Amino acid sequence: MKNFITIFFLYTIIIVVILTLFLYYFYRPPDREPYPLPIFNTLTELNASTEWSEYIESVYLNKPSEGVSNFPFDMSDFSFLYKDILEESKITINPKMVSDVCYLQNKQNTLRESLVNWPDLDNNKYWLNKLPPFTCFEDGSYIEVIHSRGDPPNSGTWMYQATGSGIWYNVGNTTCFKKHNDAVRHFLGRDCDTSEDSVYDNKPDECLADFPELFSTAKAQGFDTVQFTEHGDQLCGLGATEIVDTSGNGVYSCGYNPDDADFDEKVAATFKTGFNHGISCVCNPDKKILNCDLSSA
């Protein structure tokens, strides 16, 4: 009798596994395709697209000038799109092509609702999936970034590189590593201290306890920023480069304490907007993310 029961359960398990694989193979949702976004070869083409022209001008407060340095202008180079500005510009996104299921995010520029599953950062955006490898930015590079308030104290300002944010940041004198632990070994001469990493769900190589000493040491050695190209703690793994401003205060959404007497001057000197970073940023500290007062987030 015992043998019969054992055999029965064994066959039942086999049948369930086979049925599950069958259903998965034939009835799973189709892989998401890259979201079709326009390419504008000239300023005339951009201006002719009233909706996208309005979107670009709302994000950057101006539009690209004619010329080979700005065109062709491919919207799929963006890392995300602001939902509220899309709506204001009367641009509709097909919801059937948006998914946060990670196994569907295996292609460049598929569309998703979340990058890090952190409401402050993910709110009001459609993210375009970006596939590694990511390369280091050179000294003095202007890049577009995004940042959410709530970084660990005394740990600089943590940002993701995010084309399409409309917020530019100059990396200054920078250094670049693959993982957090690589930077800890380089600057502090030891392995990562993981004793406080549980607040990040024990994700590997977070090194939270090392942050204050790590970035104060990097700053003392003359580095304005530290980059990480392979720290994949986003929702579906590696999806963006991290950049840490060693002089910033990421506890706050604007990267600086709004109670500082020189808050506005610091923000204006650090962050820019405009299509070619020609406009000083005015950041509203009451919003949850770094902003040039563009988005309702």
3-state secondary structure 259-289: CCCCHHHHHHHHEEECCCCCEECCCCCCCCE
Is 286 a domain residue? Answer: no
Alpha-carbon gap, residue 256 to 265, rounded angstroms: 10
* Distance set, CA 158 to CA 78, 136, 146, 249 (Å): 20, 16, 9, 9
The 10s digit of each residue's pLDDT in 92-150 is 999 999 988 888 778 999 999 999 888 899 999 999 999 999 999 999 999 999 999 99
Residue 76 and residue 218 in one domain: yes
Is 297 a domain residue? Answer: no
Nearest CA to 241 out of 191, 171, 184 is that of 171
Residue given tokens 């700053």 in the structure block: 219
Chain mean position to CA 23:
34
Residues 60, 101: contact at Cβ < 8 Å? no
The 10s digit of each residue's pLDDT in 200-259 is 665 668 999 999 999 999 999 999 999 999 998 888 889 999 999 999 999 999 999 999
Residue 12 and residue 45 in one domain: no
Total structural domains in the chain?
Answer: 2
Is 291 a domain residue? Answer: no
Residue 200 and residue 242 in one domain: yes
Q: What is the pLDDT of residue 188?
A: 98
Q: What is the pLDDT of residue 69?
A: 87
Residue 10 and residue 116 in one domain: no
Is 285 a domain residue? Answer: no
Residue 21 and residue 129 in one domain: no
User: Band of the pLDDT at 8, cuts 50, 70, 90?
Assistant: low
Alpha-carbon gap, residue 111 to 82, rounded angstroms: 13
Is 288 a domain residue? Answer: no
Nearest CA to 128 out of 91, 86, 82, 92 is that of 82
Chain mean position to CA 189:
29
Residue 113 and residue 243 in one domain: yes
Query: Whole-number mean pLDDT of the chain?
Result: 89
CB atoms under 10 Å from CB of 284, counted, come to: 14
Is the pLDDT assigned to residue 262 strictly greater than 60?
A: yes
Chain mean position to CA 166:
13
Residue 26 and residue 72 in one domain: no
Q: What is the pLDDT of residue 295?
A: 46
Residue 184 and residue 57 in one domain: yes
Q: What is the pLDDT of residue 20?
A: 60
Averaged pLDDT for residues 89-94: 96
Residue 124 and residue 205 in one domain: yes
The 10s digit of each residue's pLDDT in 37-63 is 999 999 999 999 999 999 999 999 999
Is 296 a domain residue? Answer: no
- Show the domain range for 7: 1-30
Q: What 3-state class would DSSP assign to 77?
A: helix
Residue 45 and residue 112 in one domain: yes
- Cis peptide leading into residue 258 (ω within 30°): no
Residues 272, 279: contact at Cβ < 8 Å? yes
User: Band of the pLDDT at 7, cuts 50, 70, 90?
Assistant: low
